[in-house]
Structure 1
Amino acid sequence: MTPRVHRTKAPRGFTLIELLVAISVMALLSLVSWRGLDSMSRATTQNQQRADAVLTLQATLAQWGADLDATTALAQTRPIDWDGRVLRLTRRNSDATAPSVLVVAWTLRGGPDGVRWRRWQSPSFTTRGEWQQAWNLAASWAQDGGAQPGGYGDVALMAADSWQLYFFRDSTWVPAGQLPNATPPPTNPPTPGNPANPTGPIVNMPDGVRLVLSLPPGDGLSGVLTRDWVRPTVGAPKS
């Protein structure tokens, strides 16, 4: 009787077609995973840019409001002036130990970092002659951004396309350039330390200032921003 011989089958490998299918599936999964990671990275970057833009905007508007709140009217000086390009303010210096004032200017001007809303301020001073010098330098800075003497600050704040200002007077908003309710300049003759009065009327501080700021399109903030400021003494009870 012949014994039976049991033959075991050799292990079967992958065919070429199966290998190609497996490689294709792995490549597809890798591509999908890469696109998902890329989308997550882009979303994270955009969210960070937007968060940075919001923080910059909040800090800028806080400084804008602080400058307007601290605006003061001194004899033979202008508390506020807008010529369609630069807003100049005479404000109290809240950081000084002794009472003093300084000139602050806001404008939209180009630079190495592009067109940005910019702020400038002078050192603090106590005489009208120093005020006149700082007032003139603020206008020069807005025009050409030339070099200023030491101690003068120019800060680029945020990107912007354009801006407009309106003053609230007589229960209505009017373009700031119309300068309503202006007070004629004093006629006192110039004296040492008190040079001639600035040309033109001295504009009274309005009851409110409306800022309309156009932000450029981008990954951060965009569109038109409107911000209203109301003079703190408006509506206060009279003593």
Structure 2
Amino acid sequence: MAMHRGHLPPHGRHPEPASVQGFTLIEVLVSLLILAVLAATAWKGMDAIATSRQVADGKLRETLRLQSVMTQWEADLGQVIDTLIVPGLQFDGGHLRMTRRTTGGVQVVTWLVRGERLLRWASPETTRVGDLQDHWQRSFQLQGTEPGTLVALQGVGQWQVFCFRNASLSNCQSSGNLAQAFQGTPTPGQPPVPTVVREQLPQAVRVQLSLGPGSGFAGNLSRDLPVAPQMVN
């Protein structure tokens, strides 16, 4: 009989299958633990970066808001006009009022602090004497909710305004700062007769604000702002 071709392994044993290499359960658990630690570390780092960015963005917005307030103050004081009808600028301890030239005539602008908020109220523009006088009187009755009122800054506790006149700094509420205005054409050979006596406009003002947490700052802010009176046409 024919024999089956092939060779038997030595000693008649069959070949053993090749062993399969793999991870043990302990190794898998250790790997997962390492990945979890790395993920948590990366998450904390990203969260810290996001928080720092939010804080930086908030500080930037607060700084820009404060700068915009100073810019608006400079714009208002740079357009102050003495109409000889109402005062050009007046501070009574709580309200800073000024008569301001605009493209459509003149208007009364008032800055005030109400409920730890720095507010700016602007009356409608007018070219009529009666309307200007009404707007000026209305500025003494502001409640902070009138049309034309904007919240300029939050977190303002107290404020004070000082006036530079004749190279000296004084309280804007002090008396003795009167000036005489003249109207009409004087008669030749005769001195002009003063027709209006009004408060002398300062060359500059110093604004001091007490800032609290609501403003994003803490402490006192002092800023000197020039006054550039406009001429009456």
Return the match for 2:148 from 127, 131, 153: 153
Q: Scaled by the length of structure 1, what TM-score is found? A: 0.73
Q: Scaled by the length of structure 2, what TM-score is found? A: 0.75
Q: Which residue of 2 aligns with 1:43?
A: 52
1:170-181 → structure 2 map (5 Å cutoff): 170-181=166-177
Question: Structure 1 counterpart of 2:81, which letter?
Answer: T
Q: Distance in 1 between matches of 2:216 and 2:62?
A: 6
- Alpha-carbon shift at residue 184 of structure 1 (Å): 8.7
Matched, 1:72 2:81: yes
Report the secondary structure of 2:213's partner residue.
Answer: coil
Matched, 1:106 2:102: no
Deviations 1:112-155 (A, max 9, x none): xxx321111111223333222111211211xx235x4xxx4111
CA RMSD in angstroms, aligned pairs only = 2.7
Alpha carbons of structure 1 residues 23 and 218: separation in structure 2 relative to 1, 3 Å = farther
Bigger Rg over Cα: 2
Return the match for 1:62 from 63, 68, 71: 71
Q: Which residue of 2 aligns with 1:139?
A: 140
Q: Distance in 2 between matches of 1:75 and 1:219?
A: 37
Q: Distance in 1 between matches of 2:135 and 2:85?
A: 14
Structure 2, unpaired ranges of 5+: 1-9, 182-196
Deviations 1:183-232 (A, max 9, x none): 599xxxxxxxxxxxxxxx84211111011123333694544322211234
Structure 1, unpaired ranges of 5+: 186-200, 234-239
Q: Distance in 2 between matches of 1:36 and 1:221?
A: 28
Aligned residues: 203
Report the secondary structure of 1:210's partner residue.
Answer: strand
Q: Distance in 2 between matches of 1:222 and 1:20?
A: 52
Report the secondary structure of 1:22's partner residue.
Answer: helix
Q: Which residue of 2 aligns with 1:87?
A: 96
Which segment drifts farther, 123-132 or 30-39? Answer: 123-132
Q: Which residue of 2 aligns with 1:11?
A: 21
Q: Which residue of 2 aligns with 1:163?
A: 159
Question: Structure 2 counterpart of 1:92, which letter?
Answer: R
- Alpha-carbon shift at residue 43 of structure 1 (Å): 1.8
The percent of aligned pairs where both chains have the same amino acid is 29
Higher strand share: 2
Report if the CA contact (8 A) 1:165-1:211 is conserved.
yes
Deviations 1:82-106 (A, max 9, x none): 111111101111x22xxx2110000
Alpha carbons of structure 1 residues 13 and 90: separation in structure 2 relative to 1, 3 Å = same
